């Protein structure tokens, strides 16, 4: 006889604390970058918790981690819930972990209640969602949904590590997770995540029902000049890529967002080579992250970045080389799955609003192969990709309740 499945809030909050200790930073955040030792430790802990509960654990060739609970009809494709465990270098303890651990809590709640679902339900921890160590981001969900990964073999990380070696080490570090091919039919996907923006908190709403995700594009700009002596090279003889880079970034930051409030442009990383205090740099490389809800505007902004970098490089008798390292078109989620999430929120008498995500998520790629949607909960001051990221414990648990109700409805459709 099955009981009504219920989220065990204390168990979930305890799990969040335990995982926050993996890669914990002194300032209270986490540094658990993709395919790092810390990422492997978090994957191991989740797999061990799953095996203790009698669930089956799998991984695929890009190190996506799956935890499966059987349904009454094994012929049906599994319903997936989850998020990611990897973090930014100075990330927060909830970005990704909340969705992954809440999904595991859903599986435990179903198990505790001996509740049956028609479809199997699988928890997934997608590999390398962040992309900050190894670009592009959302590697796991891209590979799972059919992206051509051949070019990834040669990727070198921001820290100089080889993706292929780190990926191999991550997979072999968890032999208990049986290997299975990446990609398979799924019935649907729902992801719980913090909003990473201020609107839910400002409007005092506990739940956001995400209807779409805006597009993202990453560019890597390299400006080539001529290195030279800091003390003896007159201005007239300088070909200084640092001057060109600063001028280009300043022009972009004083035009793109001030003229279009929906646009986002971020230069997150800049490096000069050789990086010597008394040598004019030979080259300066920087990253540009651009976002926009309208696809055609991404093209407009990318063209502007290319034009401005070329012009400022030429003004310093330098050259600019720009490559696109990530292109994630925005998309809308399935209205049916959005309705299911709304029905779950209503069944819990929760206030909610529909919203678009400014951050990208694995759900965006899953939406290409199955009905998908997302649930947001508020985070303090909308802060994320910051060690001070914080979610009220009650809000985290409410999000898990909505995820549980959504999974029960979606995995056992009437």
User: Based on CB atoms, which residue is closest to Mn ion, 84 or 239?
Assistant: 84
List of residues 6+ apart from 284 with CB closer than 8 A: 222, 223, 225, 241, 242, 244, 245, 270, 271, 272, 273
Burial class (CB in 10 A: 0-12, 13-18, 19+), 54: exposed
Task: Supply the minimum distance, in Å, between the C-beta of residue 221 and ligand HGY.
Answer: 18
8 Å CB contact between 115 and 223: no
Nearer to ligand HGY, 141 or 187 (CB): 141
Shortest Cβ distance from residue 199 to ligand HGY (Å)?
16
Binding status of residue 137 toward ligand HGY by CB under 6 A:
yes
CA distance 327 to 377: 26
Residue 352 lies near ligand HGY (rule: CB under 6 A): no
Nearer Cβ to ligand HGY (5/197): 197
Which residues, in sequence order, are CB contacts of 278 under 8 Å at separation 6+?
A: 229, 230, 231
| 313 burial via Cβ count (<10 Å: 0-12, 13-18, 19+) | buried
DSSP state letter for 380? G
- H or E element, residue 258: helix 256-259
Give whichever of 95 and 108 is closer to ligand HGY, judged by the CB atom.
95
Query: Which position has the token pair 């203790």?
Result: 52
CA 6: distance to chain centroid?
28
By the rule CB under 6 A, 395 interacts with ligand HGY: no
Work out how close the CB of 361 gets to ligand HGY at its nearest, in angstroms, rounded to a whole number. 7
Considering only residues 47, 177, 344, 359, which one is a binding residue for ligand HGY as defined by CB under 6 A? Answer: 359
Binding of residue 130 to ligand HGY (CB under 6 A): yes
Nearer to ligand HGY, 352 or 360 (CB): 360
* Min separation Cβ 359 and ligand HGY, Å: 3
360 binds ligand HGY (CB under 6 A): yes
Q: Does 298 bind ligand HGY (CB under 6 A)?
A: no
- Give yes or no for residue 201 binding ligand HGY (CB under 6 A): no
- Residue with smaller CB distance to ligand HGY, 34 or 338: 34
Give the residue with the Cβ less far from Mn ion, 77 or 198. 198
Task: Give the Cα separation of 105 and 322 in Å (integer).
Answer: 44
> How far apart are CB 218 and ligand HGY at their closest, in Å?
9
Stretch that binds ligand HGY, among 129-137, 150-158, 180-188, 201-209 (CB under 6 A): 129-137
Query: Which option in Mn ion, ligand HGY, none does residue 96 bind, with CB closer than 5 to 8 A by kind?
Result: Mn ion
- Total interface residues for ligand HGY by CB under 6 A: 5
Q: Which of Mn ion, ligand HGY, none does 360 bind, CB closer than 5 to 8 A by kind? A: ligand HGY
Smallest gap from Cβ 95 to Mn ion, in A, equals 4
312 binds ligand HGY (CB under 6 A): no
What are the DSSP calls for 170-194, one per residue? HHHT-TTSEE--S----SEEEEEEE
Which are the contacts of 15, defined by CB distance < 8 A and separation ≥ 6?
49, 101, 104, 105
Q: Which residues bind Mn ion (CB under 5 A)?
A: 95-96
Give the distance, in angstroms, between the CA of residue 220 and the centroid of all CA atoms in the same chain: 19
Nearest to 180 by CA among 143, 149, 151: 143
> How many C-beta neighbours within 10 Å does residue 76 have?
16
Chain residues binding ligand HGY by CB under 6 A are: 129-130, 137, 359-360
């Amino acid at each position: 006889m099955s009981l009504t499945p219920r989220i065990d809030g204390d168990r979930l909050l305890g799990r969040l604390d335990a995982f926050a200790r993996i890669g914990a930073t002194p300032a209270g955040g986490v540094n658990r970058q993709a395919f790092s030792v810390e990422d492997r430790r978090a994957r191991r802990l989740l797999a061990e918790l799953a095996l203790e509960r009698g669930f089956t654990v799998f991984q695929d060739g890009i190190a996506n981690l799956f935890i499966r609970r059987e349904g009454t009809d094994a012929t049906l494709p599994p319903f997936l819930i989850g998020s990611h465990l990897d973090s930014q270098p100075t990330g927060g303890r909830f970005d990704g972990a909340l969705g992954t651990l809440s999904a595991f809590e859903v599986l435990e709640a179903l198990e505790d209640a001996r509740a049956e679902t028609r479809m199997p339900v699988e928890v997934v921890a997608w590999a390398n969602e962040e992309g900050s160590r190894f670009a592009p981001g959302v590697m796991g969900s891209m590979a799972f949904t059919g992206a051509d990964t051949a070019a990834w073999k040669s990727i070198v990380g921001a820290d100089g590590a080889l993706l292929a070696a780190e990926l191999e080490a991550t997979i072999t570090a968890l032999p208990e997770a049986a290997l299975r091919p990446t990609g398979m039919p799924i019935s649907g996907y729902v992801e719980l995540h913090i909003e990473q923006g201020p609107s839910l908190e400002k409007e005092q709403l506990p739940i956001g029902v995400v209807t779409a995700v805006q597009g993202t594009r990453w560019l890597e700009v390299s400006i080539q000049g001529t290195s030279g002596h800091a003390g003896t090279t007159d201005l007239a003889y300088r070909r200084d890529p640092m001057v060109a880079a600063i001028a280009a970034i300043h022009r972009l930051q004083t035009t793109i967002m001030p003229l279009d409030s929906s646009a986002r442009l971020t230069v997150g990383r800049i490096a000069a080579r050789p990086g010597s205090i008394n040598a004019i740099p030979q080259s300066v490389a920087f990253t540009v992250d651009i976002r926009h809800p309208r696809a055609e505007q991404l093209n407009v902004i990318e063209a502007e970045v290319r034009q401005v970098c070329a012009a400022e490089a030429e003004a310093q008798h330098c050259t600019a080389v720009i490559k696109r390292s990530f292109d994630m078109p925005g998309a809308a989620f399935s209205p049916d799955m959005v309705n299911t999430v709304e029905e779950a929120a209503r069944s819990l008498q929760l206030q909610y609003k529909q919203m678009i995500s400014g951050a990208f998520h694995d759900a965006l790629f899953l939406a290409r192969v199955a009905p998908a949607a997302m649930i947001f909960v508020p985070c303090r001051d909308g802060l994320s990709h910051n060690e001070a990221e914080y979610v009220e414990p009650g809000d985290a648990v409410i999000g898990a309740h909505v995820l549980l109700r959504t999974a029960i409805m979606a995995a056992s459709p009437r």
